Amino acid sequence: PTPLVIDTDPGIDDAVAILLAVASPEVDLRLVTTTHGNVDLAQTTENALRVLHLAGRADVPVAAGARAPLVHPMAERAGHVHGAAGLGGVELPRSPAAVDPRPAVVALADLLLASPRPVTVAAIGPLTNIALLLAVHPEAAARIGRLVVMGGSAGAGGNVTAAAEFNAWADPEAAQAVFSSTVPTVMVGLDVTLPTVLGESGVARFAAAGPLGATTAAILRQYMDVSRRRYGVDGVVVHDALALTEAIVPGTLTTAPRDVVVDTGLGVTRGQTLVDRRDPSGSPTAVHVAERVDSAAAVEFLVSRLAALAAR
Ligand code: BDR
Ligand code: CA
């Protein structure tokens, strides 16, 4: 299996993404690093510990990362989407595990430098930790095999503002540093996540498979209402789980190499990802931007994996 790190801000869809990784034999989840984002860092870190415990993987180290974006404080978090504590109002049992004493960037660098095999990093929150890794441990960042980012939007508009997707908006300076780096990066943006809707029937399938499935369904319930109101869809948009699917099975999404620039200005389009349609040939910083998805297949992959995990 491919060694995997998840950098995350759980977050309802983050929790589902973590469970999907645990359920998938193609990857070996070696580390979870946490960031500020949907809720504050203390809460995302606690949630990561509890979700791993729920999945029977309290052995996976959790290292806490950035408390705030690189430059400008965030105007608001996403408690209105994910619930004040981040998991849709569901109180998961406490994990017996403690937080890893190392800062996230140190834990990441240690793992990347020690791994004999290329490591896949799935970044499904604001990109602050990854930008810090690039700045502080560039030699370790250079060893990332694939960086799969849930963030940005090529042509689908924004979700937190008219222009910007939440993770890019939450730390645009960090997103700009990551997208302009030479790390092999896949951008899984709203173009492919919004059409990929997990409906009631899928949720019902894993809910019936065992207690873990029922708990996951409960976490998703409040998010269903938000998805309905915000995106007008019947079901839930589990953005981060689609990014994990691409991390687990490379090539799930159809991508094209593009240069990506992030608006770091302070105007109304702050956090917008500008995807350059011109030929990027020869550009060492081109990002593989996800443009197309087989949504039915992606939803089936998620539902069957979660059902199998719940039945274990
Ligand atoms: C992203 O924003 C967060 O609220 C979700 O967890 C996901 O990572 C979607 O824009
Ligand atoms: Ca997230």
Output phi, psi for 232, to 5 deg.
65, 30
Report pLDDT for 25. Answer: 98
Distance CA 122, CA 262 (A): 19
Q: Which residues are catalytic?
A: 239
Closest atom of ligand 1 to 125 CA is 8
pLDDT band at 77 (very low <50, low <70, confident <90, very high): confident
The pLDDT > 90 percentage for the chain reads 89
Report pLDDT for 252. Answer: 98
Distance CA 278, CA 259 (A): 8
Name every residue whose Cβ is closer than 8 Å to that of residue 304 and which is 6 or more positions away in sequence.
none
Nearest residue CA, atom 2 of ligand 1?
166
Tell me if 166 CB under 6 Å of ligand 1. Answer: yes
Starting from the CA of residue 168, give the closest ligand: 1
Residue range 243-270: mean pLDDT, rounded = 97
Tell me if 165 CB under 6 Å of ligand 1. Answer: yes
Report pLDDT for 119. Answer: 98
Tell me if 240 CB under 6 Å of ligand 1. Answer: yes
Name every residue whose Cβ is closer than 8 Å to that of residue 151 and which is 6 or more positions away in sequence.
123, 127, 165, 166, 167, 168, 175, 187, 188, 189, 273
Burial degree of 211 (CB within 10 A; 0-12, 13-18, 19+): exposed
Report pLDDT for 220. Answer: 95
Q: Would the pLDDT of 79 be above 90? A: no
User: Rounded to the nearest whole angstrom, what is the distance from the C-alpha of residue 238 to the centroid of ligand 1?
Assistant: 8
Closest atom of ligand 1 to 9 CA is 6
Closest atom of ligand 1 to 193 CA is 9
User: Rounded to the nearest whole angstrom, what is the distance from the C-alpha of residue 240 to the centroid of ligand 1?
Assistant: 7
User: Rounded to the nearest whole angstrom, what is the distance from the C-alpha of residue 270 to the centroid of ligand 2?
Assistant: 19
Could you tell which of 239, 244, 273 is best to mutate to test the pocket of ligand 1, judged by most ligand atoms within 8 Å of the CB? Answer: 239
Tell me if 78 CB under 6 Å of ligand 1. Answer: yes
Tell me if 13 CB under 6 Å of ligand 1. Answer: yes
Distance CA 118, CA 144 (A): 6
Report pLDDT for 128. Answer: 98
The residues with which 6 forms a beta bridge, in sequence order, are: 32, 122
pLDDT band at 75 (very low <50, low <70, confident <90, very high): confident
Closest atom of ligand 1 to 81 CA is 4
User: Rounded to the nearest whole angstrom, what is the distance from the C-alpha of residue 165 to the centroid of ligand 1?
Assistant: 8
Tell me if 167 CB under 6 Å of ligand 1. Answer: yes
Starting from the CA of residue 78, give the closest ligand: 1
CA dist list (Å): 96 to 54, 57, 243: 11, 11, 29
pLDDT band at 74 (very low <50, low <70, confident <90, very high): confident
Residue 195 CA to its chain's centroid (Å): 17
Residue range 77-102: mean pLDDT, rounded = 91
pLDDT in tens, 202-217: 999 999 999 999 999 9
Nearest residue CA, atom 4 of ligand 1?
38
Residue range 279-307: mean pLDDT, rounded = 96
Tell me if 7 CB under 6 Å of ligand 1. Answer: no
Report pLDDT for 76. Answer: 77
Distance CA 307, CA 312 (A): 9
pLDDT in tens, 159-195: 999 999 999 999 999 999 999 999 999 999 999 999 9
Tell me if 11 CB under 6 Å of ligand 1. Answer: yes
User: Rounded to the nearest whole angstrom, what is the distance from the C-alpha of residue 282 to the centroid of ligand 2?
Assistant: 32
